[in-house]
Amino acid sequence: MKFFVDTANLEQIKEAQDLGILDGVTTNPSLMAKEGITGEANVLAHYEAICELVEGDISAEVIATDFDGMIKEGKILADIHENIVVKVPMTIDGIKAIRWFTDHDIRTNCTLVFSAGQAILAAKAGATYLSPFIGRVDDMNWDGIELIAQIADIYTIQGFQTQILAASIRNPLHIVRAAEAGADVCTCPLSSILGLAKHPLTDIGLAKFLADHKKGNA
């Protein structure tokens, strides 16, 4: 399973990159705004900076919601760097745009996915990645992990090549369960990635080893 970090914060991206396990980055307009990155020129420059930091797929989201606007923006984003993946919302115009990008060798990440039906449509259009938002599904009192498992089953049965990118991850357990359910990629906040390393028995065990080592060398 690939690991992407879900942020536009350059320090966090660098920290994730330094772990040596990072395969890419996802952003969205909210994450860009959170870092105070506004205006087209600044947004494009920020994507460029992310591409310089990380050798892996970088999702850059279109703002337009109509087909022509998405194509225009997607072409500009894809021109920034070969690792850019154009992020397109799951709408009817979005599906048409994904088909257009697929036919023009531009890779896509279909975002805001909440159902298996949407997953089928995106795969038919040739999306490179599909982003089911599991945390937001859980927030609605449904089961985000079950959605990942259902899509994984359908993609296997049907032979779809689209990669399932579990998004809207809220905690380390989401990552473990998404891996178990068949996600190809998890995009996570840095805190959830770091949380995977934590276990109190590791801390207790390490403290004991160090104490015994100290005693033995006293």
Pull the structure tokens for residue 81: 């760097």
Q: C-beta of 48: minimal distance to ligand E4P in Å? A: 19
Residue 194 C-alpha from the chain's centroid: 16
Q: Which of these segments, 12-20, 92-100, 121-129, 130-138, binds ligand E4P (CB under 6 A)?
A: 130-138
Nearest partner of 166 among 153, 179, 154, 150, judged by Cα: 179
Pull the structure tokens for residue 14: 């660098």
- Residue at token pair 């350059």: 10
Q: Which is nearer to ligand E4P, 135 or 195 (by Cβ)?
A: 135
Report if residue 57 touches ligand E4P, rule: CB under 6 A: no
Out of 47, 101, 114, 133, which residue is the one contacting ligand E4P (CB under 6 A)?
Answer: 133
HSE-up of 40 (CA within 13 Å, CB side)? 9
Out of 1, 81, 135, 152, which residue is the one contacting ligand E4P (CB under 6 A)?
Answer: 135
Q: Which is nearer to ligand E4P, 162 or 187 (by Cβ)?
A: 187
Report if residue 43 touches ligand E4P, rule: CB under 6 A: no
Out of 75, 99, 124, 136, which residue is the one contacting ligand E4P (CB under 6 A)?
Answer: 136
Residue 32 C-alpha from the chain's centroid: 14
Q: C-beta of 95: minimal distance to ligand E4P in Å? A: 18
* Binding mask of the shown chain, residues 156 to 175, with x at each position contacting ligand E4P by CB under 6 A: -----------xx-------
* CA distances from residue 100 to 44, 66, 107, 134, 193 in whole angstroms, order as listed: 22, 13, 10, 27, 34
- Euclidean distance between CA atoms 70 and 131, whole angstroms: 18
96 part of the active site: no
Query: In the complex, which residue's CB is closest to ligand E4P?
Result: 168
| Residues written for the chain | 218
Report if residue 128 touches ligand E4P, rule: CB under 6 A: no
Q: Is 189 helix (H, G, I), strand (E, B) or coil?
A: coil
152: amino acid identity, one letter: A
Q: Which is nearer to ligand E4P, 187 or 214 (by Cβ)?
A: 187
Binding site for ligand E4P (CB under 6 A): 6, 26, 28, 111, 131, 133, 135-136, 167-168, 187
